[in-house]
Structure 1
Amino acid sequence: MSNKPIIGITMGDAAGVGPEIIVKSLENSEIQQHSIPLVIGDLKILERAARILESNITFKKVEKDDDFSKTISQNEVYCLDLDLLPEDLPYGEVSSKAGHGSFEFLSTAIELANEQKIDAICTAPLNKEALHKGGHLYPGHTEILAELTDTSNFAMMLSSPKLKVIHVTTHIGLQDAIDRIEPNRVYDVIKMAHDTLSQSENRPPKIAVCGINPHAGENGLFGYGEEEEKVIPGVERAQNEEIDVQGPLPADTLFFRAVRGDFDIVVAMYHDQGHGPIKVLGLDAGVNITVGLPIIRTSVDHGTAFDIAGSGKADEKSMLEALRQAIDLAPTRV
């Protein structure tokens, strides 16, 4: 058995680009050089993607109950075939079968990670409408991961070469997001950012916190005192613990400052406040990391791209970067 980490790669929604970007990424020798990839999905769908891409990659099957320490070795690409999907599953269509499959791929990966049979999870994109049609009423990957690992305190961190952002709220409407922002949550997210980056970068990070209103409220000129009520107490609590954090700061200039290098990570208050700047910097560069889980999970920061699924045109750069991050964060096997 190699001491390389075993990275469980979930196939996501098989009607999207997930199978293609997985095949393209696994053709990169760097991934096999530094890890043992295990795709959790449907073998015939992966093989269909490989034919579309005219790839020579081959997958070696393993079973869920296998002793991976004996059956998995280096220089191979493995597939745990759940065999849930029809071979002729249409590309680019919302499908309850594909939605159910994406849930089962992820739940199986979580089970394997909890059993320490794999060392990290890297997820291809799922489609929320298909997920719901398949009977799984979750907003997305993060909430499934939290429930199935019994985690109540977690956050979404987006990482790109020039900018890192962590979110106080994510997949809820803007009014609900403002209602849910409160000092303890702001403090918790600051602390998760501090702990995560301190561990990965071996130094305390410089953290900046966005305001909720334009100009961070500008001393009460905008809004109804949300910064004073919801944000500042959380920031001050973190500062009292000697965490290097500033805020709330105006979001319209803060992201520029972070990209310039003034801060290592930005705490965003809601989904679009944090996602927008990351995606302007490039969809192919962003990686989604779920912080606060007992297991390591990284993901692409783009959707299923139904419009180009099955064409072979999907760009694998985000998947490659997500795999690199998973490898870097995963423990070394002994």
Structure 2
Amino acid sequence: MKPKIAISIGDLNGVGLEIALKSHKAISQFCSPVYCISYTMLHQGAKLLNHELPEDLQLHEIDGEFTIEAGQVSKESGLYSYNSFMEAIKLCENKQADAVVTMPIHKEAWKLAGLDFVGHTDLLRKHFNQEAIMMLGCPEMFVALFTEHMPLKEVPSHITYEKISRFLFDLQKSLGDKQVAVLGLNPHAGDNGVLGSEEREIEKAIAHVNTTLDKELFHGCIVPDIAFTPSFRKNFNYYVAMYHDQGLAPLKALYFDESVNISLNLPIIRTSVDHGTAFDIAYQNKAQNLSYINAIKSALNFINN
């Protein structure tokens, strides 16, 4: 029996459906995908793409039909993507699927639909009442984000010994005994307090976690501007970044097409493409699918391990 993967279809005004359809034959070789979308919406999108529907598609019907508007932000598409995601989660909770793989949603569309979440990970965190960790990357380099979709000015107040310690313990529980480089917040990792004091909290947390685990797994604070150089990456391919762009700017510069998004520290397996809805190329048959293929493979790795 092939593992069953629930596919959350994402914002139907974007590239998610195109990627799903063009990838179906390839991923069906190693998993059994279940697409959380109604036949009506699937047929409408396939017609816009001039794409024939494979005969072996498994659908989990989602209510809420609307007219697809390529490249447009709408509350209807936002609500549909939310409902698709929630049904995919339920399939895993009910043991009808082994993992969830998500296509991109549009945060503004969710807001227009009246949804009080800033993204998939935020929803998962609140749904399961657990501190989900967002980790992105590929085998060459993974970056776990201590803070995610947060204004930069709010980040320093979240860097406390207690919060960093809990984050590192949760990360080790999810990853096992990986060697992890933990970045500082400030230029030069604070220069011993000259450029900021947040690093003292991070260093205290690292020492506490390593001592408690009786293993030297976490290393830092690492100066951010040297952490992703080729010589440094010879020793580490797991990182903790203090804020979104600190980790994702270098990751996407190096591995944009192949990176995936993985939610850790949850009772279900969830992976995702590491890109947005790409409204500018929606329904033009231009979307790349490598990130999606890798997201499926990452989910299968977690299932098998």
Please list, as runs of the form range in 1=range in 2, the aligned pairs for 1:216-227 lying within 5 A after superposition: 216-223=189-196, 225-227=197-199
Whether the aligned pair in 1 keeps the contact of 2:79 and 2:113 (CA below 8 Å) is yes
- The question of 1:168 aligning with 2:146 is answered yes
Whether the aligned pair in 2 keeps the contact of 1:194 and 1:243 (CA below 8 Å) is no
Of the candidates 77, 85, 91, which is equivalent to residue 112 of structure 1?
91
Work out the CA distance in 2 between the residues paired with 1:97 and 1:55.
23
- Structure 1 counterpart of 2:76, one-letter code: K
- Structure 1 counterpart of 2:19, one-letter code: I
Q: Deviations over 1:33-62 (max 9, x none)?
A: 221100112333333443455544425xxx
- The question of 1:194 aligning with 2:172 is answered yes
Whether the aligned pair in 1 keeps the contact of 2:11 and 2:105 (CA below 8 Å) is yes
Quote the offset at 1:190 in angstroms.
2.3
Query: What is residue 183 of structure 2 aligned with on the other side?
Result: 210
Query: What is residue 64 of structure 1 aligned with on the other side?
Result: none
Quote the offset at 1:186 in angstroms.
1.6
Whether the aligned pair in 2 keeps the contact of 1:160 and 1:285 (CA below 8 Å) is yes
Whether the aligned pair in 2 keeps the contact of 1:189 and 1:267 (CA below 8 Å) is no
Query: What is residue 45 of structure 1 aligned with on the other side?
Result: 41
Work out the CA distance in 1 between the residues paired with 2:80 and 2:206.
41
* More divergent stretch after superposition (11-20 vs 43-52): 43-52
Work out the CA distance in 2 between the residues paired with 1:292 and 1:258.
30
Query: What is residue 279 of structure 2 aligned with on the other side?
Result: 306
User: TM-score with structure 2 length normalisation?
Assistant: 0.94
Query: What is residue 62 of structure 1 aligned with on the other side?
Result: none
* More divergent stretch after superposition (184-193 vs 44-53): 44-53
Please list, as runs of the form range in 1=range in 2, the aligned pairs for 1:1-334 lying within 5 A after superposition: 2=1, 4-28=2-26, 31-58=27-54, 76-86=56-66, 88-151=67-130, 153-198=131-176, 204-223=177-196, 225-228=197-200, 230-240=201-211, 241=213, 242-256=215-229, 260-330=233-303
Query: CA separation of 1:141/1:180 partners in 2, compared to 1, >3 Å: closer, same or farther?
Result: same
User: TM-score with structure 1 length normalisation?
Assistant: 0.86
Identity within the alignment, %: 35
Which 5+ residue runs of structure 2 have no aligned equivalent? none
Work out the CA distance in 2 between the residues paired with 1:84 and 1:259.
50
Which 5+ residue runs of structure 1 have no aligned equivalent? 60-75, 199-203
Quote the offset at 1:331 in angstroms.
5.0
Whether the aligned pair in 2 keeps the contact of 1:23 and 1:49 (CA below 8 Å) is no
- Structure 2 counterpart of 1:233, one-letter code: K
- Structure 2 counterpart of 1:137, one-letter code: D
- Structure 1 counterpart of 2:57, one-letter code: V
Quote the offset at 1:232 in angstroms.
1.2
Task: Report how many aligned residue pairs link the two structures.
Answer: 303
C-alpha RMSD over aligned residues: 1.8
SS at the partner of 2:189? helix
Work out the CA distance in 1 between the residues paired with 2:45 and 2:287.
11
SS at the partner of 2:236? coil
Q: Deviations over 1:204-260 (max 9, x none)?
A: 21111000100101112212x1111x2112101121021421101101111225873
Quote the offset at 1:149 in angstroms.
1.9
Query: What is residue 65 of structure 1 aligned with on the other side?
Result: none
Work out the CA distance in 1 between the residues paired with 2:216 and 2:144.
16
Work out the CA distance in 1 between the residues paired with 2:47 and 2:289.
17
SS at the partner of 1:98? helix
Quote the offset at 1:99 in angstroms.
0.5
- Structure 2 counterpart of 1:32, one-letter code: S
- Structure 1 counterpart of 2:28, one-letter code: Q
Quote the offset at 1:271 in angstroms.
0.7
SS at the partner of 2:64? coil
